[in-house]
Every structure is written in structure tokens, then in C-alpha cells.
Structure 1
Amino acid sequence: MAVREHTHPFVAYQPPRRPIPEGLDRVRALYDHLESRRSVRFFSPDPVPAECIEWAVRCANTAPSGAHHQPWKFVAVSDPATRHAIRVAAEIEERRNYDGGRIPAEWRAALAPLETDADKGYLDVVPWIVVCFAEKHTPMPDGSLRKNYYVNESVGIACGLFIEALHTMGLATLTHTPNPMAFLSRLLGRPAHERPYIVFPIGYPADDCEVPDLRRKPLTEALEFFG
């Protein structure tokens, strides 16, 4: 093996190389697990330990990111008054979207099978609201701001792993993106270098939880081999 010289620290990396049958068995099991995940709008108020949120963020932190800058911050809220304030502010923006004409007719038609509306009552029910903020820049110890790269891509991947971690623990969530979301920075006292990215209501599904009867895109539409 060739000897490489590095100017920065490197460590050896040799993940398990599994036989193809074993690897396929594992990924089929992972697919079955992921296929059972759904976005939920009907939650139970049953408590969820803070440790669950901590482990979900640990999983999110394993995501690849531009220059390994990890440009995300997860802010977890359990206080009922703050959760209610988030609901009130989110519904103001959502009413402007649904009732004020900010959502064009084509978009409204696309949302129709989900039967969503401006009511975000589940934000008062869930034991946790976690808001992911994206960091365009990150403050450094010397007071300067470090530029981050591929922020949207990096934060999106981290949020995907966060969702999967919640699902693995038997918890449910929803990717809520009220637009605009500047009210979250104000309510949660976030600095100017962060911008709200996604709101995650987190809890157990309600006993009478229902979800739209949807089908995911088949492999024939999602994958194309070239060459």
C-alpha cells in the first residue's frame, strides 16, 4: 500500500466489508423499517425523555457536511408556553398562505390529498418541538465568522438522519416549514448567523392517528442506470 503524507491528522478507516448476501439482507431490513415511517399530524401528549432528543441529534451529527463544518443547530423546546407561542406565530403565517392567497392554485391542488390547513394544533400537544437552524456562518473564538459551505445540502442530510433516529425509537414527527419562519429566531432568541430550516414536532402518534393513504415513487421512476 502506498505511503501517503498528510499535513493534517488522518486515521485508518476500515468499515466491515460484508458478503453481498448479508449486506442485501441488512438493507432489505432497513428498507422495511424506513418504509413504515410516515409524517404524523395526530400526536399523543405522552412524555418523551430528553435523552431521546439527545440521541437523535447525536445521530444527526454523523451526517457528512461541506468542509466538515456541520452548519446546524438543533433547538429543543418543551416549555408549553413557548410551544404555544410557536403555534400562534406559525398559524398566522399559515393563514396568510392558505387563506390569504400566498399559495397558488397549483400548490393548493397538490396539497389537497394531505388535507392540510392552517390549524397547527399538534404544536400544543407534542411534548417536544425541535427547530433545526442552518448556520450560513459560524462564530469563531477570536470573534470572526467562518463561512460554511453547502449549507442547505449539509443540513438537509442531518435532518434526514434526525428523522430516521426518531423513527428508530418509535417516535413520530413532521417536517413543518411555515413560510416565512423568521418568528422562530425571535421566539427562541437565536443569533443573526442562524436561520430557521425545519420545525419538528416530536412525540408518539395518537391512539387514533391517521395518515393519508399515499404510495411512494416506485424504483422504476426513482432509478435509471446509465451505461
Structure 2
Amino acid sequence: MADAAFGPLDFTALPVDEVRARARAAYEELNRRRSVRDFSPQPVPRSVIEHLVLAAGTAPSGAHRQPWYFVAVQDSALKVRIRELVEAEERRTYMERMPDEWREALAPLGTDHVKAHLTDAPWLVIVFREKYGVKPDGTHVKNYYVTESVSIAVGLFIAAAHHAGLATLTHTPNPMTALRELLRRPANEEPLVILPVGYPAAGAQVPVLTRKPLHQIMQVDVP
């Protein structure tokens, strides 16, 4: 295998005070991010969604395979069909599959099988994980750390959407095959998450939550 091509890193070292200020500003901005279930019908330009996907596509990935694909849905009829698929599975989950412990965990959030955000939001972005690559001759190419790589890309998408002044919500789809077929994606892909994207509705409500403090999520060195 030929050696990979390398080039100079485009990087400018900043004064430590500016690094500290930027880190604090990033935290303060992201700490205002909330998952939203009440969306406004206010349109969002396609170019905004494209730049959010480009931002997500800067994520690191195993062996640089970039094993992700983003399907952006704006069509109202298609959103209705997606909602129908999702709600049918969610109804079965809430009524038949969900253990009591899970119900108790979700109770403070007030969620149920009704997913109005899937038709209310101006855009749905369905993120697919590419289980393996396919060469032009049909042979398979192994991908590495697929779920980890795509999950990082989803995180960057959410952060970029918040930075742009938009709201999102993560929904993990159960009708994997049906959703893939509806969106005409190949067999080597499966949906990992659905992200409604748009402006929050006027008067949108969110649960009053507390995030874990630093000492509960970070350790420095080993005591």
C-alpha cells in the first residue's frame, strides 16, 4: 500500500487566556442547549442544513472511512410516512416492550408514543451508519468503529445546530428496515438516529433538569 500523503497542519496557537476564554464560552453556549419537542413551522433554508451536515462530516472516524450518510427530509408527505412508521413501533414499545424500570426513567420527561415533532419540524435529518463500504464491483470494504464514528458526527451536528440558533431532538428509530426502504438507502446502511431540526415553537416547554456537576463526570489523574 502506498504511503498516505501528508501536508502541513493549519493551526494557530492562541494565548492561554484566549484558550481559557474560548473553552468557557463554548461550555456556556452548549449548556443552554436543550432537546426540544415543540417546533415552529418557520422554514429553515436548505443551505443551513447543508452546512450543519458539512460540520458533522468533519468528525473523526475509524481509518477515516467516514461511515455516515445524512438524509434530509423537508417534504411534508414523506415526513408523515416517517411519523407513521415511527409511531407504530413506538406504540408497541410503550405498550409491550418497555420494562417498568424504563417507564419510571422516562416518566419525568412526559414522553409517549406520539411524535408530533416528526411532522412539525421543518426538517428531519436521518443519520445512517454504513456497516461496510461497497466498491464499484460490489465487493465489501470493512469499516471500523462505525457506531462510535457516526455518534461523534451526530454530536457535532447537534452542537452546530445549537450554535446556528436552531433546536434539535434525538430519536433512535426502531423500524430500521422499513425506514431504510422508505428512504431508498442501500442494504449496507441502517438508521442510527432521527434529528428533527428547526426553531422552537413559541412558548415551547422543556423539562426542568439539572446536569451533573464537574466532579461527577471528570477525574484528573489517578489518586
**1:8 partnered with 2:4:** yes
3-state SS of paired residue (1:70): coil
Equivalent residue number for residue 150 of structure 1:
145
Q: Deviations over 1:184-222 (max 9, x none)?
A: 102111110001100011110000101000011110100
Q: How does 1:55-134 map to 2 (within 5 A)?
A: 55-100=51-96, 102-134=97-129
Q: Deviations over 1:92-146 (max 9, x none)?
A: 011111122x111101111111110000012111111110000011122333221
Counterpart-to-counterpart distance in 1, 2:54 and 2:119: 26
Q: Normalising by structure 1, what TM-score?
A: 0.94
Q: Provide the aligned C-alpha RMSD in A.
A: 1.2
Equivalent residue number for residue 208 of structure 1:
203
3-state SS of paired residue (2:174): coil
Equivalent residue number for residue 196 of structure 1:
191
Equivalent residue number for residue 45 of structure 2:
49
Which runs of structure 1 show a deviation greater than 3 angstroms over 4 or more consecutive aligned residues? none
Question: How many Å apart are 1:182 and its aligned residue?
Answer: 2.5
3-state SS of paired residue (1:67): coil
Q: Normalising by structure 2, what TM-score?
A: 0.96
Counterpart-to-counterpart distance in 1, 2:47 and 2:193: 21
How many residues end up aligned between the 2 structures? Answer: 221
Where do 5+ consecutive residues of structure 2 fail to align?
none
Equivalent residue number for residue 23 of structure 2:
27
- Relative distance call for 1:220 and 1:84 in structure 2 (3 A) is same
Equivalent residue number for residue 164 of structure 1:
159
Counterpart-to-counterpart distance in 2, 1:187 and 1:8: 38
